[in-house]
Amino acid sequence: MRRSTTEASSHTPVSRLGLSREYILEEALKLLDRDGLDAFSMRRLGNEMGIGTMTLYGYFPNRDALLDGIIDASASKLVTTKASGSWKERLRELMLSLRRALTQHPAIAELRRSRPLISPGALEVTETAMRILRQAGFSKAEAARTYRVLYIFAFGFAGYGPGARSEETETLEALSGLPADTYPVLADCAGEAAASMADETVFELGLDYLLDGLEKAVTGSRRDAA
């Protein structure tokens, strides 16, 4: 996408140590996906890459800028979807694709919290979703609000859903040990509750509830208009 400066073969400037913004971002994302945001530090990234910590500051003004860079660089290549079918089917496919991407790079969802979009690279999914919704006849405001719902569910699932940290057996133990007099229902459903917390398919369940509810709202308003 970006034009090269002076070198011919590579499309991004590379220093004498072989460093570039892109390369640093790749290594940072690897470290992040491996050990999580809590364990990430500039010093550790430097160590891992075999360079001095302060070298990083030659490429990014500070830690936050580096993290923003990761979102911008990775989000754009995450989701690819070839649209076909009804708006509902296309939207479903897009959200499943987003879910897959967030599964592959759990760090993205972690970073995205409290870090609003802004960066152009991170908006391709939004653009695609908005296009589908607008083509389906939603008003600008309806489309924007509806996408917010889907977006929050997808990122919420990544942030609060399975795979986060809880080990299923540990959760089951804790739930099984609940006092049955204060938590009668939950104690009765301990196994199912623990299983649901590790269940990836809950995403599709929720997504389909959302899309069905959305479809109902659309046909409802059409009936009102008629």
Partner DNA sequence: ACCTGAACACCGTTCAAGT
Taking CB under 7 A as the criterion, the residue among 62, 80, 139, 166 binding DNA is 62
Q: Kindly state the DSSP code that residue 57 receives in the 8-state scheme.
A: G
Say how many C-beta atoms besides its own lie within 10 A of residue 190's C-beta: 19
Give the nearest distance from C-beta 28 to DNA in angstroms. 11
Instruction: Taking the CA atoms of 215, 221, 223 and 226 in sequence, report the sign of the dihedral they define.
Output: negative
Listed residue (106, 83, 107) closest to 95, CA to CA: 83
Q: Which is nearer to a second copy, 16 or 165 (CB)?
A: 165
Nearer CB in complex with a second copy: 20/171: 171
Among the listed residues 11, 17, 191, 221, the single contact to DNA using CB under 7 A: 17
Burial class from Cβ neighbours inside 10 Å (0-12, 13-18, 19+) for residue 100 reads: exposed
Interface with a second copy, residue 91, by CB under 8 A:
no
Query: Nearest to residue 160, comparing CAs of 203, 207, 209, 212?
Result: 203
Site for a second copy in 147-166 (CB under 8 A): 147-149, 151-153, 155-157, 159-161, 164-166
Residues 94-153 that bind a second copy (CB under 8 A): 112-118, 120, 123, 126-127, 130-131, 134, 140-141, 143-149, 151-153
Contact call for residues 102 and 154 (beta carbons, < 8 A): yes
Which residues sit at the interface with DNA, rule CB under 7 A? 13, 15-17, 19, 40-44, 51-55, 57-59, 62-64
